[in-house]
Amino acid sequence: MQEADKNAVSAYRSLILPLALGQFICSYAATNMNVAISAIAADLGTTVNGIQVTITLFTLTMAALMIPGSKLTDIWGRKFCFRIGLIVYGLGGLIAALASSLGILTLGYSLLEGIGTALLIPPVYILLTVAFPDVKSRAKSFGVISAAGGIGAAAGPLIGGLITSAISWRASFIFQVLVVAYIIYLSKSIADPGITGTKPRFDFLGAILSAAGLFFVVLGILLSSTYGWFRAETDFSIGNIVLIPEGGISPVWVSVGIGLVILLLFFWHIRSRERRGKEPLVSIHIFRNKTSNLGLVTQNVQWLIMQGSFFVISVFLQTIRGFNAISTGLVLTPTTIGILVSSMAARRLAHKYSQRTLIRGGFVITIVGMILLIWLASATSPIFNFVPGLLLMGLGIGIMLTSSVNVVQSAFPEKDQGEISGVSRSVSNLGSALGTSIVGSVLLTTFLPETQTFGLALITVTIIAGIGLVAALLLPPDTAQSDKTAMTGEPGVEV
């Protein structure tokens, strides 16, 4: 190998490794807590519901702050924002590991790790988009990042279960701190081309409106698993005051309604700010791109499928089959393998097929996998019956995650990468929240016996996957843009 080739490989690894590890640890943090809820509650002298609220707040913090965090990359710089996010995240993990009460755990895990995630994740996708201007090389890089994210989410329960069972739930946070410290060390070699032109002013009012709007929308979705989608399953109270009695309208719609009103104010604000010649938090044209909008729908559905199906399968295995956390994680391993294999093949697939073809194919493979899972897996079937469906789901999800991110990021020139990255990550987090909430509410239904609600939940997720496939079919022919299109805005051709 020539010296130039060696240098190119070294530069590639110095960029990809820290970014991939950053995506892995954030995805891990979103799922590993589920298997340690009981242990944490007993240790801190609190309730299981209290720990579930802490996990919910982590999701809310990420979703609410992802767009403002992304905008800061255009002000502070991508590498700087990435490293600051890591520091905040690591501090949060350390505080959580040493927590003596639920309040301190919430401060470390829900708030600081959530804020750190919102700061460090957008730069991951921006740095890759800028470093790899052509779609095919970018597909390989996004494949690595998507694999890291998918594996972190899929293996979180297994790794978290192993650490919690062998040592303590606190060791799981120490593990995160050590990984983050290693990423900070590796990130010194990241090459950031820097921000060209005048740095924008931060739109504080826009940040408040976007964060508040997303907070209430996501909160409403998360409330569905407790109160139901239509009528309140129980009293909705704040303190000792019952705001919505049992049988009244579900608080889901109250919260979502408040969030939508605030988001309408947000869109009015950024349009008004642009008309006055001032820099908004997100330019209004970001939401007028058909390719990007359809790509965002596919992203949302993909994360909904992954989080929703993982949740229902995990609950099924633990409540119906009586598996412990480690055994449950092992059963889900075929999905992890599928995500890894398909994500690693992203570059080769991008050479043969367009990105929209890969997204469509990914949805078809995933839906077939889910149908096989519904058909073959039951309360008494051999564990091997789970393997074909889970493996196909992983293969399909891995293909889609990479291609959808590529489609969305490539739809805009470099100057818009900060904004679209934040919108993209917020939409993905919204999908994750929708997945667990929709599945949770279906599992609570009393219309069917408990053993049958799991099948109904998977059927529901499969139907939603069909909606994602429809969005993929509507993607225009020029989805996969060339170097010229993505980085300069000039027309290109499909690859």
pTM of the model: 0.77
pLDDT tens for residues 21-69? 998 998 888 777 766 777 788 888 887 667 767 877 887 788 788 888 8
**Residue 97 and residue 264: Cα distance in Å, rounded?**
39
Q: Which residue has the higher pLDDT, 416 or 139?
A: 416
Structure tokens at 73: 């990359």
**Does 442 have pLDDT greater than 90?**
no
Q: Which residue has the higher pLDDT, 305 or 239?
A: 305
Least confident of 1-5, 118-122, 132-136, 165-169: 1-5
**Residue 185 and residue 71: Cα distance in Å, rounded?**
25
Map residue 210 onto helix, strand or coil.
Answer: helix
Map residue 169 onto helix, strand or coil.
Answer: helix
Structure tokens at 333: 């391993």
Judge contact between 216 and 258, C-beta under 8 A: yes
Q: How many CB atoms lie within 10 A of CB 185?
A: 10
Structure tokens at 150: 């998918």
Q: Is 242 left (phi over 0), alpha (psi -120 to 50) or beta?
A: beta
Structure tokens at 234: 């129980």
Judge contact between 179 and 427, C-beta under 8 A: no
Phi, psi of 98 (to 5 degrees): -100, 5
Residues with Cβ within 8 Å of residue 167, at least 6 apart in sequence: none
**Does 8 have pLDDT greater than 50?**
no
Under the banding of pLDDT at 50, 70 and 90, the label for residue 365 is: very high
Q: Which amino acid is at 240?
A: N
**Does 111 have pLDDT greater than 80?**
yes
Q: Give the CB-side neighbour count of residue 394, counting CA atoms within 13 A.
A: 30
**Residue 46 and residue 25: Cα distance in Å, rounded?**
26
% of residues, the chain, pLDDT over 70? 87
**Does 486 have pLDDT greater than 70?**
no
What per-residue confidence (pLDDT) applies to 330? 79
**Does 479 have pLDDT greater than 60?**
no
Mean pLDDT of 454-480: 84
Between the alpha carbon of residue 388 and those of residues 63, 203, 329, 459, the distances in Å are 33, 49, 16, 17
**Residue 124 and residue 362: Cα distance in Å, rounded?**
23
What per-residue confidence (pLDDT) applies to 40? 83
Between the alpha carbon of residue 191 and those of residues 2, 44, 79, 127, 128, the distances in Å are 22, 43, 8, 9, 11
**Does 493 have pLDDT greater than 60?**
no
Q: Which amino acid is at 457?
A: A
**Secondary structure of the chain: what % helix, strand, coil (to 5)?**
80, 0, 20
* CATH H superfamily, domain 3-202+281-488: MFS general substrate transporter like domains (1.20.1250.20)
For the chain, give the mean pLDDT: 80
Q: What is the four-CA torsion angle of 455, 451, 29, 400, rounded to 10 degrees?
A: -10
**Does 300 have pLDDT greater than 80?**
yes
In terms of Cα–Cα distance, which of 221, 228, 417 is closest to 304?
221
**Does 464 have pLDDT greater than 60?**
yes
Structure tokens at 444: 């609570």
Q: Which amino acid is at 47?
A: T
